Every structure is written in C-alpha cells, then in structure tokens.
Structure 1
Amino acid sequence: MLDEKEIRSVISGKRILVTGGTGSFGHEILRELIKYDPASITVFSRDEKKQHDLRLLYAHIRQIGFMIGDVRDYARVREAMRGQQIVFHAAALKQVPACENAPYEAVLTNIVGAENVRRAAIDADVHTVVSVSTDKAVKPVNVMGMSKAIQERIMQQPLDCGTKFICVRYGNVLGSRGSIVPLFVERIMAGLPIPITHPGMTRFQLSLSEAVKLVFWATVRGTSGDMWVKKMPSINIVDLGAHLAYGLTGKEEYPSTIIGTRPGEKLHEVLVSEEEMWRAVEYPGHFLIPSWRESFEVNGSVVPNLTEYSSASVDFLTREQSLAMLRDDGWIAESGYGPGPKLALYD
C-alpha cells in the first residue's frame, strides 16, 4: 500500500494532463487528484458535453481546466502537453464490438494517438507519462486488444530521454461506461432476464478506485519502461449477474438467457502471459514486468511459476465480496436490497 504522503510528494504542486479525462477512469482520477493539491489539472478529451458537465461539477476548483481535442491530432496534443509535468494517458477506444466494426478507428486512437502522446511528451519535456492498458492486450484475439498491445510497445520502447514512460494493466472495471454491470442493472430493473454470452466466461474485476490506486502506485514507484499489473480476483459472468440480481431484488434465483459470445470475445482473460512471467517480479499486490533492457534484479521475488495469470485460475469473488464491491461503487443499497445512489433514476 502507498502512504498518502508518498502520493502527495509526487502530485502536490505539479501540472497534470489527463487524456480521455471525461471517461469513467478520468472521472475517478480527477476526483482523487484534487485531494493532493496539484498546481493544475487539464482534462483533455473530444466530448464537449461531458466536459461541460464536469466543468459545472468542479466550478469551485480553480486548478481544473478543460481542453477539447483528440489524441489523433498531434498539433493539438502538443499544445495540450506544453508545460505539463505528469500525464495520465487514458484516451482510447475500449469497446470490443466497436473496434471490431471499425478496426482502423481503433488504430487511429489507440496506436497513432499513443505515438502522438509519446512524441509530444518528449518534445515538451514532461517528467512522467503513465499509460493505461488492459488485460485484452495479452494474447489478443480482438482489434481492441491488438491495438492496446501495440500501444504498450509504443510506450515501452527503449529511448534515452528525460521523460519517464510507465504502463499499467488491469482487468474489467466494475460498472465503467459500456461495461456489463450497467447492462445487467438495466435488465434487472426492467424485470427482464440477464443476457449471458457464455456460462463459462470469466473476467477479472476491480473497482475504479482500485484502478486509480494502481496508477498512483506506478507513478510513485515506477521507472521508465515498467509495466505494473495489479493482482485481482475474478468472477464467472453467470455469478456476477446472479449476485447483482440478488443485491437489487433480494431474489435467490433470477432468470438468465444465453445469447452467445460476441465477435472478438475471449472465454477467459489473461493479465500476465507465460512469456512475461519468466521475467516478472512478484510483489504482494502486484506483478512488475520490467522493460527488456532493464534487469529484473529488483526488490521483489522473481516468479518461479511460469503459468499465465488468467481469470480462470485466480480466486473467484464470493457473493459477499461481489456485493461489497457493488455497494462501495454505488450500484446497490448500502444495506438491505435495492438500487444504490447510481440508480436513483430507477426509484
């Protein structure tokens, strides 16, 4: 665990840029960053409506500014990067079906956009760039994962410069925009069966707050070229639906229907492959995959087991653990059954 003083020592007084800052992750890291008194935070995204909403929400905080732009546009990224000291790069096309339907759009945002961020950060003498990746980048079978795998390589490529580039990789964020939890909630609140793609499908799960903690960990502890991977539990999708239905309705049994997998979907996800495990370093809550040019003789234990770190092989969330995560994230009531504060519109 990081000491809050460590985070403050890195964030306080710094000028910070968040690409994709109006997304689910951007919302959460913005809320956390303001606790540590940065000199400024610039929210960079192409969604003017979401920027307007955030501007109203944070109108009382003078350090937060907004900039419309797209990571595909190098000139605009370079302008946004001017004077920044820390960059959190979260801008991406993240929906598997959308990327399958428009592969080149994923290339432009996830690959070209990453290169633009990298080049602009170097040109602007940014101190640290932390890039957010996904388990889908490991042994990718879909366009989204393939493009994110290349994004990782772009950010980790060996380069002698003053900018530190670090990557983080994690699994499904509970309740993030476009994820399965909002879909299940919508169906349950309407009294409809839960749609299940495959009864054996598993996914890593973590909360938005845990995702931000990983990013802060990498920012404080990481060195250039590092890939930090958070250890996290997994859950069977059938169980997730059943746990959510129980939390919302109190029913022990809730109907579901099998709809089949979508194009590009895996049955299980992987956070660390066998090929990465042989050079990974294990910490109590993380794996560190150093850059190829760095020694892995660091403060940790070199992983003796070369088995991949898969959502099918880690501890599964129990119903109690799932309900606790859903309550903490505001999807179900803090006590008893029923919708939480995120679902006030269903009351």
Structure 2
Amino acid sequence: MNAPADANAPAGSTDGAGSSSLAGSSVLVTGGTGSFGKAFIRRLLDDVGPKRVVIFSRDELKQWEVRQHFGDDPRLRWFIGDVRDLDRLRRAMHKVDYVVHAAALKQVDTGEYNPYEFVKTNVLGSQNVIEASIDAGVKKVVALSTDKASSPINLYGATKLTADKLFINGNHYAAAYPTRFAVVRYGNVTGSRGSIVPKFRALHEAGESLPITDLRCTRFLITLPDAVQMVLDTFGLMTGGELIVPHIPSHMVTDLAQAIAPGAKMHDIGLRPGEKLHEEMISPEEGRRALIIADGKYYMIQPELATWGYEAPADGVPVPDGFRCASDVNDLWYSAEDIARVLAENP
C-alpha cells in the first residue's frame, strides 16, 4: 500500500491527509507496547514528525523494553495505565490531539474461559477511551478492530463488535464536541506478537508434523506496515462514523504452513473453541452500507444513523448487491509462494 501525499485531499482520498495532520501534533496510543503499537510509533517518529507521542499500557516490563528499542526518544511519553481506569486515561490524554486505540485482550480461546475480563477491557475500556477523548478535546480517534467482529461466534469477536458500535455511535455522544471516532477492521497480521511462524519452523526442523486446526481453513493476511498505513490513511479519510476495511488477499492455512516450512507434513487437529472455518470482515447486512473507496484500496461501512454531520466520500462506489467480504469468497488470493515472499519482506 502506498503512502498518501496531499494534506488538502477530500474525504475518500488517501494522498497525505492522514500523515500530515499528525505532523507536529500530540498522539496517544493505547496498547502502545504491542506489535502494532511499536510499528506505528516507529513510523510516526521516522516519517510523520509528531510533537509528542504518549505510550499508554499496563505492563511495566514491556514499557521498559520498548524504551530501549526507541532509545529514549525525547518525543515519547510513558504512561503506565489500564484502559479500565477512566481517571488515568483522562490524565494521559491531557493536550492530546489524536488517539489510536490498540489495547485489547485478543486470544480467542482465553476469552472463552475468561469472558468478563474481555468485557472489562474490550467493552468497558473502549467506552472509557471514548469518554476520556471527548473530555480532553481530542480531534480524532481511530480504534483497531478485527475480522472476528463480523458475525461473531466467539466472546472475543462479540466484545470487539460491541466496541466497534460504541466507537461508531460515540459520534452521537460527541456530536456537540469536536471529537470524532472511526474504526479500522483487518485480519491476521504478519510479524505480530504470538505469530505461528517460529513455532512451525521449530516443529519442521525437528521433523514433526504441523498441527493445522482445519485443513480447509482460509484467512486474511495483512502486513504490519500496511496496517500502520491504513490507520494513517484513516485519519485523513474520516469525518466520523466510518468503519474502514482493507481490500487484502486471502490464503489457505495449508499454504501458510507450506510457506513457513516448505514440504512439512501437516495434520488436522480440528477447530478450537470459538474458531471459524473462514473469516469475514463485512457481513451481507453490513454490505448494504458498504462503499469501495480510495481506488479500491479500502471498503468503507457507512453508519446506519448519523446525526453529527457525517459526510460520505465523494469517490465512494457502492459494492454489488449481496456483497460479503469473507476469506473464502475473496477476489484476491495469496499462494504459498506469495506468502513466502511476504514473510521474507516482513520477518
């Protein structure tokens, strides 16, 4: 995905408005010590030029590790805090212009066994981010979602769908205030923390068969740089209330395994609790409100009811009737060779 370039681009364009609006500003990232947070902050520091970046996370050790990674850059500010704590969020957001909400509990099987913990972080924590952003006069907030939020069958997906709706409808809540909210939704990320890549490689080197949850499974795949660019683009695209989905390739999980460990044996272990055979990013019901934007780079799900002055993108093209964005019916696909190339470029 190419970076944008014109700060005065209209809604629906990705030619610079997102990156340039963050230049010289104060940006806060919840969950900023995670894989996305580190990649996003690196991009801000190297290419965007923010005045200040606030890293808000609850893990003291990870904050120390990330401080070493960035060499104590003077533009960085470090806040130990949990999104469950509204007062701490309010303090951290003092004089912040833009917020990226990446903090979440994410492990599907863990959520099935610890449901209320996921509710407290992913749902109540999201509402806290909304409240604190409005109170602090933040200009724009972009929340990270997941393909599992579309037609959810697991607790994690259900909490993220709830969070999506809180952020979209947070624009009603903030209608008389300057703060606006949007959501980005994407699939599996290459190079993220907890990646299956090192595990599969170790099993292959030991001559063992690779455990595949279901040999028929398909998934979406996006790289960390593309996920970062998508968030930057969204700051330029959004007027408030948009849910942005990338137009990205699908792949067979068996092709992913072969890309990681060519020639490896594989065996079917069955789907885990709460796991889908195929992932979905836009349901047929959401497809009725979806547009193709940015020359096909993204889809945009428009809000059902907008009382805050929502503006549809001028270049938006409605998707076909009955449209559904799912990994088994996608029009873009990665082969094992394609995945191997992506992994080599994004270790």
TM-score by structure 1 length? 0.90
Letter in 2 for 1:28: A
Partner Cα separation in structure 1 for residue 71 and residue 63 of structure 2: 11
Answer whether contact 1:279 1:296 (CA < 8 A) is retained. no
1:316 to 311, 325, 333: 333
Are positions 1:31 and 2:42 aligned together?
Answer: yes
Indicate the residue corresponding to 1:212 in structure 2: 228
Change (3 A) 1:186 1:4: farther
User: Among the aligned pairs, what percent are the same residue?
Assistant: 39
Indicate the residue corresponding to 1:261 in structure 2: 271
Q: How far is 1:297 from its partner?
A: 6.8
Q: How far is 1:150 from its partner?
A: 0.2
**C-alpha offsets along residues 82-113 of structure 1, whole Å, 9 cap, x if unaligned?**
11000000000011011111000100000000
SS of residue paired to 2:261 = helix
Q: How far is 1:36 from its partner?
A: 1.2
Answer whether contact 1:81 1:121 (CA < 8 A) is retained. yes
Indicate the residue corresponding to 2:12 in structure 1: none
Change (3 A) 1:259 1:111: same
Give unmatched runs, 5+ long, in structure 2.
7-15
Partner Cα separation in structure 2 for residue 318 and residue 170 of structure 1: 19
Indicate the residue corresponding to 1:223 in structure 2: 239
Indicate the residue corresponding to 2:4 in structure 1: 3
Q: How far is 1:324 from its partner?
A: 1.3
Partner Cα separation in structure 1 for residue 203 and residue 223 of structure 2: 21
Partner Cα separation in structure 1 for residue 195 and residue 157 of structure 2: 16
Are positions 1:325 and 2:337 aligned together?
Answer: no
1:155 to 152, 160, 167: 167
Give the stretch that moved more between structures: 224-233 or 8-17: 8-17
Indicate the residue corresponding to 1:192 in structure 2: 208
Answer whether contact 1:228 1:286 (CA < 8 A) is retained. yes
Letter in 2 for 1:204: F
Q: How far is 1:8 from its partner?
A: 4.0
Give the stretch that moved more between structures: 71-80 or 133-142: 71-80
Indicate the residue corresponding to 1:58 in structure 2: 70
Are positions 1:19 and 2:35 aligned together?
Answer: no
Q: How many residues align?
A: 324
Supply the RMSD in Å over aligned alpha carbons.
1.5
Answer whether contact 1:95 1:144 (CA < 8 A) is retained. yes
Q: How far is 1:313 from its partner?
A: 0.9
Letter in 2 for 1:243: A
Q: How far is 1:56 from its partner?
A: 1.4
SS of residue paired to 1:320 = helix
Partner Cα separation in structure 2 for residue 210 and residue 173 of structure 1: 9
Indicate the residue corresponding to 2:13 in structure 1: none
Answer whether contact 1:193 1:254 (CA < 8 A) is retained. yes
Change (3 A) 1:69 1:317: same
Q: How far is 1:81 from its partner?
A: 1.1
Letter in 2 for 1:108: K
Letter in 1 for 2:266: S
Are positions 1:144 and 2:156 aligned together?
Answer: yes
SS of residue paired to 1:299 = coil
Q: How far is 1:60 from its partner?
A: 4.7
Are positions 1:75 and 2:87 aligned together?
Answer: yes
Letter in 2 for 1:174: T
Change (3 A) 1:190 1:78: farther
Give unmatched runs, 5+ long, in structure 1.
247-252, 331-347
Change (3 A) 1:4 1:52: farther
SS of residue paired to 1:78 = helix
Are positions 1:277 and 2:287 aligned together?
Answer: yes
Change (3 A) 1:198 1:218: same
TM-score by structure 2 length? 0.90
Letter in 2 for 1:321: D
SS of residue paired to 1:126 = coil
Indicate the residue corresponding to 1:84 in structure 2: 96
Answer whether contact 1:281 1:296 (CA < 8 A) is retained. no
